[in-house]
């Protein structure tokens, strides 16, 4: 409970953003701060901002009286963190075995941790009555078109908040400039609820399966209780329309809706869809926002001004004023698992938030993970199936293309013959689709030009000096040679793990031979080959645009917005991309999908690889034929008799996944066991290995777990650090966590752990 008290003997307990498994006690002179406020305190030789989580009598403190320090300052007059926030933080800290103070630090935007003001009063901006056109002309330069455009937005939206103006395109710099020059004024108003959401577009009629799924969500909304729902619908089955109908019910109650997406590339199309259906305040939150934008979003959620929130995983920690529904779209995606620091899974956190808030949580996907299927079998998730495509759309047809038969070769600009790694059947199918005015998606889950550069004379390979991995070739495919007989000039070699980059050598560093060759294919090389076939105006009568979509070419929200704008024109084009294209995107004019290489995923030693590969294939395939036109999927493979691949395309993902689930059960692998991965990384391999051995020896003698240790990480050396792992598998989750609760902190205190970074990963998605 929060309280004011002038009892100078009471202490405050503060959670600090440090990797220590404890709270810190401080003296207070004067009024005792309330629980939930931020305070500035001395810590070691620095000052830190922490959160008051409790009060304690000095007799109950484990700090000697003469060692107690006094707090420096109280930042907030009233608590900005409530009991819900503390419950969520305690659960995260307990389940993922992460320090409580550091857990709360992960949950907060940077500026909140820095102590900025978060008053509940809302600052609004307007143009004063005396500011007319002549006043504006005298203040702003005629050539400052951006300033004039920003000023017009403020004038046309009187009393708008800073966040609203930002979403409309007004920059922070111009806002400050206008205020300085007297063009606008800021006034503060108490926080009031936003206007009631209005329908901007009539909803579509649902089919029987969609209505049945909506009924389950609606029941939870009506009863005001938690329910976890797995919306398992094939691609194009209308899951989004079910979301929209459920959102309408929640928004009509004046409550907020949170839509989780695996990465920022999915936010533009979702925002467009929701604004087309609802006249509502839509807020987008993701990692590409700067600190001020994140703070504005945090305040909009807390004040209830944000009605529809589209976000990536960290938004689950935001303080929603009146949350009524959580939707996790593409819930199978491993991007929902945080891979560093506090290694939480957003789906699990979303379900727990649903329990705390007593609201429905919908996990939507066409390819549920085996863990999600198991939860539905155990009645911990209610499964709703959508087995047919919405409207007149039909599922795409699959064709396996046998790459052993032969591929198309072409002559490059240097006069050399190159293998395009595309079959004649594939090239003809692409040409036919383009000539019909349709779009084609070419999927290759490897960016760069080629994954390996080696010397044909001595066998030298271009390896990263910091990691145990090869360097990837990146090049400009149309960099013109200075002389006709020169080869293409590769721009650089890059490590995709640590970022190390070096100019590509022209001769072998080992034997000085000029015979450097590249192996394998990335999106850059595929783009180049396709350009030679379909887009080169010197050789092609009707060139078609080719758009490459990977992390090298599409970065940030604006890049995605431009991409969607271009693709949505519907003009015939080829999209070349990685897994960024496989995550729920809706491109209505794409009728042909080509999976350039389907074999790699089935050859991996990772036991999860068949599941992940199947998900990827079905998700990419689902981009074809979504708007009524027939869709087709070509899968290029050197092993057309692969039983896993044949089962997937003949029987569908559900049957494939259930067969995998039976195998996991027989082998005792997750989800039929519970995994913990301990990682040690140090400056020396032997130090990391000794730390893992020490951790293993610290386990109780009679533990009931299966333990594999020490084992090399998939990449032993990364960024000049050596990585060794320990895997623990347990049949019972409770027994595992009971041991972890004391064992893990003991491991961190072992002499063998000194100088080594030790991390714990609960429910890892890979090892």
CB proximity list for 387: less than 8 A, separation 6 or greater:
209, 233, 234, 237
**Any idea what the CATH number is for the domain that residue 716 is in?**
3.30.70.360
Buried b / exposed e across 742-761, counting CB within 10 Å, b at 16+? ebbeebeebebbeebebebb
pLDDT, average across residues 432-452: 95
**Residue 184: pLDDT above 50?**
yes
pLDDT in tens, 640-675: 999 999 999 999 999 999 999 999 999 999 999 999
For residues 133 and 155, give the distance between their C-alpha atoms in angstroms, rounded to a whole number: 11
Buried b / exposed e across 572-606, counting CB within 10 Å, b at 16+? bbbbbbbbbbbbbbbbebbbbbbbbbbeebbeeee
* 397-402/501-503 β-pairing: unpaired
Name 636's bridge partners. 401
Question: At 2, is the pLDDT very low, low, confident or very high (cuts 50, 70, 90)?
Answer: very low
Look at residue 129 in the predicted model and tell me its pLDDT: 87
For residues 419 and 416, give the distance between their C-alpha atoms in angstroms, rounded to a whole number: 10
**Residue 483: pLDDT above 70?**
no
Q: Is residue 1 part of a domain?
A: no
Helix (H, G, I), strand (E, B) or coil at 706: strand
Mapped to the 3 state alphabet, what secondary structure does 156-214 carry? HCCCEEHHHHHHCCCCHHHHHHHHHCCCCEEEEECCCCCCCCEECCCCCCCCHHHHHHH
Question: At 193, is the pLDDT very low, low, confident or very high (cuts 50, 70, 90)?
Answer: low
- Residue 5 known to bind ligand: no
pLDDT, average across residues 476-497: 58
CB 10 within 8 A of CB 95: no
CB 270 within 8 A of CB 243: no
Name 24's bridge partners. 14
E strand map for 251-355: 256-260, 278-279, 282-285, 308-311, 323-329
Q: Is residue 209 part of a domain?
A: yes
Which H or E run contains 27?
Answer: strand 24-27
pLDDT in tens, 283-310: 999 888 888 889 989 999 999 999 999 9
**Residue 194: pLDDT above 80?**
no
For residues 707 and 697, give the distance between their C-alpha atoms in angstroms, rounded to a whole number: 11
Domain total in the chain: 6
Question: At 121, is the pLDDT very low, low, confident or very high (cuts 50, 70, 90)?
Answer: low
For residues 19 and 103, give the distance between their C-alpha atoms in angstroms, rounded to a whole number: 9
Which of 496 and 537 is assigned the larger pLDDT?
496
CB proximity list for 293: less than 8 A, separation 6 or greater:
166
Q: Is residue 544 part of a domain?
A: yes
Q: With the C-alpha atoms ordered 171, 173, 174, 179, is the resulting torsion angle positive or negative? A: positive
For residues 535 and 417, give the distance between their C-alpha atoms in angstroms, rounded to a whole number: 18
CB proximity list for 118: less than 8 A, separation 6 or greater:
76, 80, 112, 295, 298, 299, 302
* 757-762/674-682 β-pairing: antiparallel
Residues 270 and 402 in one domain: no
Q: Is residue 5 part of a domain?
A: no
Look at residue 489 in the predicted model and tell me its pLDDT: 45
Buried b / exposed e across 251-263, counting CB within 10 Å, b at 16+? beeebbbbbbbbb
Residues 361 and 465 in one domain: no
Q: What Rg do the C-alpha atoms of the chain give, in angstroms? A: 29
**Residue 484: pLDDT above 50?**
no
Residues 512 and 528 in one domain: no
pLDDT, average across residues 494-507: 93
For residues 152 and 184, give the distance between their C-alpha atoms in angstroms, rounded to a whole number: 11
pLDDT, average across residues 491-509: 92
Question: At 183, is the pLDDT very low, low, confident or very high (cuts 50, 70, 90)?
Answer: very high
- Residue 3 known to bind ligand: no
Question: At 43, is the pLDDT very low, low, confident or very high (cuts 50, 70, 90)?
Answer: very high
The torsion angles phi and psi of 436, rounded to 5 degrees, stand at -85, 0
**Residue 479: pLDDT above 60?**
no
Last residue of a domain, one of 371, 386, 401: 386
Q: Is residue 2 part of a domain?
A: no
Which of 2 and 520 is assigned the larger pLDDT?
520
- Helix orientation angle between 653-667 and 370-377, rounded to the nearest 10 degrees: 80
For residues 77 and 119, give the distance between their C-alpha atoms in angstroms, rounded to a whole number: 9
For residues 24 and 377, give the distance between their C-alpha atoms in angstroms, rounded to a whole number: 44
Q: Is residue 552 part of a domain?
A: yes
Residues 276 and 375 in one domain: yes
Q: By C-alpha distance, which of 634, 595, 629 is closest to 615?
A: 595
Look at residue 37 in the predicted model and tell me its pLDDT: 97
Residues 290 and 313 in one domain: yes
Last residue of a domain, one of 386, 405, 424: 386
Q: With the C-alpha atoms ordered 567, 569, 570, 572, is the resulting torsion angle positive or negative? A: negative
pLDDT in tens, 315-335: 999 999 999 999 999 999 999
Residues 481 and 549 in one domain: no
- Residue 384 known to bind ligand: no
**Domain housing 470:** 451-519
- Residue 347 known to bind ligand: no
Q: Is residue 54 part of a domain?
A: yes
Look at residue 486 in the predicted model and tell me its pLDDT: 39
- Residue 455 known to bind ligand: yes
Taking the CA atoms of residue 149, residue 153, residue 155 and residue 160 in that order, the dihedral angle to the nearest 10 degrees is -150
CB 235 within 8 A of CB 223: no
Residues 412 and 533 in one domain: yes
Residues 71 and 140 in one domain: no
CA distances from 412 to 295, 418, 502, 541, 547 (A): 51, 7, 25, 18, 20
Q: Is residue 94 part of a domain?
A: yes
Look at residue 72 in the predicted model and tell me its pLDDT: 94
* 574-577/69-70 β-pairing: unpaired
Helix (H, G, I), strand (E, B) or coil at 313: helix
Last residue of a domain, one of 637, 667, 697: 667
Residues 585 and 690 in one domain: no
Question: At 754, is the pLDDT very low, low, confident or very high (cuts 50, 70, 90)?
Answer: very high
Q: Max alpha carbon distance in the chain (Å)? A: 88
**Any idea what the CATH number is for the domain that residue 642 is in?**
3.40.50.300
pLDDT in tens, 710-735: 999 999 999 999 999 999 999 999 99
- Token representation of residue 58: 């000095």
Calculate what percentage of the chain has a pLDDT beyond 70: 94
Residues 76 and 202 in one domain: no
**Residue 18: pLDDT above 60?**
yes
Look at residue 478 in the predicted model and tell me its pLDDT: 44
- Residue 511 known to bind ligand: yes
Question: At 133, is the pLDDT very low, low, confident or very high (cuts 50, 70, 90)?
Answer: confident
- Token representation of residue 590: 């794409």
The whole-chain average pLDDT of the chain stands at: 90
pLDDT in tens, 197-253: 777 778 889 999 999 999 999 999 999 999 999 999 999 899 999 999 999 999 999
Look at residue 568 in the predicted model and tell me its pLDDT: 83
Sheet holding 160-161, edge to edge: 160-161, 122-126, 185-189
Residues 292 and 365 in one domain: yes
Residues 599 and 740 in one domain: no
For residues 638 and 456, give the distance between their C-alpha atoms in angstroms, rounded to a whole number: 25
pLDDT in tens, 390-422: 877 788 999 999 998 877 776 665 556 677 789
- Token representation of residue 227: 């329910």
């Amino acid at each position: 409970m929060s309280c004011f008290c002038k009892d100078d003997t009471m202490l405050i307990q503060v959670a600090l953003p440090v990797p220590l498994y404890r709270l810190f006690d401080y003296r207070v002179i004067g009024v005792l701060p309330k629980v939930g406020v931020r305070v500035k305190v001395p810590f070691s030789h620095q000052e830190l901002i922490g959160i008051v989580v409790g009060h304690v009598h000095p007799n109950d403190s484990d700090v000697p009286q003469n060692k107690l320090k006094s707090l420096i300052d109280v930042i907030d007059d009233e608590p900005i963190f409530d009991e819900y926030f503390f419950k969520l933080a305690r659960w995260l800290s307990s389940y993922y075995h992460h320090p409580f103070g550091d857990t709360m630090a992960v949950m907060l935007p940077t500026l909140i941790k820095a102590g900025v003001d978060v008053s509940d009063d809302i600052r609004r901006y307007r143009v004063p009555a005396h500011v007319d056109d002549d006043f504006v002309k005298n203040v702003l330069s005629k050539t400052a078109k951006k300033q004039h455009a920003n000023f017009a937005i403020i004038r046309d939206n009187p009393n708008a908040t800073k966040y609203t103006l930002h979403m409309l395109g007004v920059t922070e710099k111009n806002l400050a400039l206008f205020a300085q020059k007297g063009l606008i004024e800021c006034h503060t108003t108490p926080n009031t609820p936003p206007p009631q959401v209005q329908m901007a577009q009539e909803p579509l009629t649902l089919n029987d399966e969609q209505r049945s799924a909506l009924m389950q969500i609606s029941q939870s909304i009506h009863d005001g209780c938690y329910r976890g729902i797995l919306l398992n619908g094939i691609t194009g089955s209308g899951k989004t329309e079910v979301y929209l109908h459920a959102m309408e019910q929640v928004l009509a109650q004046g409550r907020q809706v949170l839509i989780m997406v695996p990465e920022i590339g999915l936010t533009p199309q979702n925002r467009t869809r929701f604004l087309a259906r609802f006249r509502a305040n839509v807020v987008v939150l993701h990692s590409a926002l700067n600190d001020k934008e994140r703070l504005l979003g945090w305040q909009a959620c807390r004040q209830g001004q944000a009605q529809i929130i589209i976000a990536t995983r960290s938004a689950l920690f935001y303080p929603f004023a009146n949350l009524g529904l959580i939707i996790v779209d593409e819930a199978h995606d491993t991007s929902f698992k945080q891979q560093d620091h506090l290694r939480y899974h957003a789906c699990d956190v979303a379900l727990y938030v649903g329990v705390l808030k007593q609201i429905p949580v919908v996990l939507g996907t066409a390819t549920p993970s085996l863990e999600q299927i198991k939860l539905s079998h155990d009645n911990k998730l209610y499964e709703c199936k959508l087995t047919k495509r919405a409207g007149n759309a039909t599922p795409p047809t699959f064709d396996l293309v046998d790459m052993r038969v032969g591929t198309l070769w072409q002559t490059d600009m240097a006069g050399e013959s190159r293998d395009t790694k595309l079959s004649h059947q594939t090239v003809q199918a692409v040409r036919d689709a383009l000539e019909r005015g349709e779009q084609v998606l070419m999927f290759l889950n490897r960016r760069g030009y080629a994954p390996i550069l080696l010397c044909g004379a001595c066998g030298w390979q271009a390896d990263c000096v910091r990691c145990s991995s090869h360097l990837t070739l990146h090049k400009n495919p149309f960099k013109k040679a200075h002389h006709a007989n020169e080869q293409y000039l590769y721009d650089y070699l890059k490590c995709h793990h640590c970022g190390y980059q070096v100019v590509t050598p022209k001769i072998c560093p080992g034997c000085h031979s000029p015979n450097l060759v590249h192996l394998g294919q990335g999106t850059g090389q595929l783009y180049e080959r396709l350009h030679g076939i379909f887009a080169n105006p010197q050789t092609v009568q009707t060139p078609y645009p080719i758009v490459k979509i990977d992390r090298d070419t599409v970065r940030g929200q604006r890049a995605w917005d431009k991409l969607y704008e271009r693709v949505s024109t519907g003009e015939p084009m080829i999209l070349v991309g990685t897994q960024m294209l496989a995550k729920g995107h809706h491109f209505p004019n794409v009728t042909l999908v080509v999976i350039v290489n389907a074999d790699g995923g089935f050859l991996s030693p990772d036991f999860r690889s068949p599941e992940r590969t199947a998900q990827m294939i079905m998700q990419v395939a689902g981009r074809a034929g979504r708007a009524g036109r027939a869709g087709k999927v070509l899968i290029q493979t050197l092993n057309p008799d692969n039983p896993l691949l044949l089962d997937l395309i003949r029987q569908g993902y559900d049957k494939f996944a259930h067969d995998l689930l039976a195998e996991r059960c027989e082998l005792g692998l997750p989800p039929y066991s519970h995994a913990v991965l301990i990682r040690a990384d140090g400056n020396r391999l032997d130090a990391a290995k000794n730390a893992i051995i020490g951790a293993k020896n610290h386990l109780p003698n009679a533990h009931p777990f299966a333990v594999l240790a020490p084992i090399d990480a998939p990449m032993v050396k990364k960024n000049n650090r050596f990585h060794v792992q320990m895997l623990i598998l347990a049949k019972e989750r409770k027994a595992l966590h009971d041991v972890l609760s004391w064992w893990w902190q003991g491991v961190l205190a072992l002499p063998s752990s000194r100088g080594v970074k030790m991390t714990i990963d609960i429910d890892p998605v890979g090892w």
